[in-house]
């Protein structure tokens, strides 16, 4: 079964597991809207089916404008890991 991090969080929350807050954005404006109430300390992470959480595909954001900028760069980028093979996978969403 292949699921994104945000999907795993949804499943775990149904079983009363504590999970870090996070929402999915499919465009830079959505990332801005999600990050705005969080304030100065958020993270923008590309979402693909390849277990890249520990591989640095997430970046810390100082403010909502930076989250918007990072999302614009991450959405549509091709991420290559040992799990994707040399062709990689394209990120369609980010987790804020």
Residue pLDDT, tens place only, 29-85: 999 998 888 766 788 888 777 655 545 567 888 888 999 999 999 898 888 877 788
Q: Which of 94, 29, 22, 92 is nearest to 65 (CA)?
A: 29
Coil, strand or helix at 68: helix
Coil, strand or helix at 88: coil
User: pTM higher than 0.85 for the full model?
Assistant: no
* Structural domains for the chain: 21-95 (3.30.1490.20)
Given pLDDT bands bounded at 50, 70 and 90, which one contains residue 8?
confident
Indicate the angle between helix axes 28-35 and 64-74, nearest 10 degrees. 150
């Amino acid at each position: 079964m292949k699921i994104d991090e945000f999907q795993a969080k949804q499943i775990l929350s149904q079983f009363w597991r504590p999970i870090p807050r996070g929402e999915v954005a499919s465009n830079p404006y959505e990332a801005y809207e999600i990050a705005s109430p969080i304030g100065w300390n958020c993270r923008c992470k590309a979402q693909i089916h390849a277990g890249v959480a520990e591989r640095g595909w997430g970046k810390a954001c100082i403010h909502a404008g930076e989250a918007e900028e990072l999302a614009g760069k991450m959405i549509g980028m091709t991420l290559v890991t040992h799990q994707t093979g040399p062709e990689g996978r394209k990120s369609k969403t980010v987790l804020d």
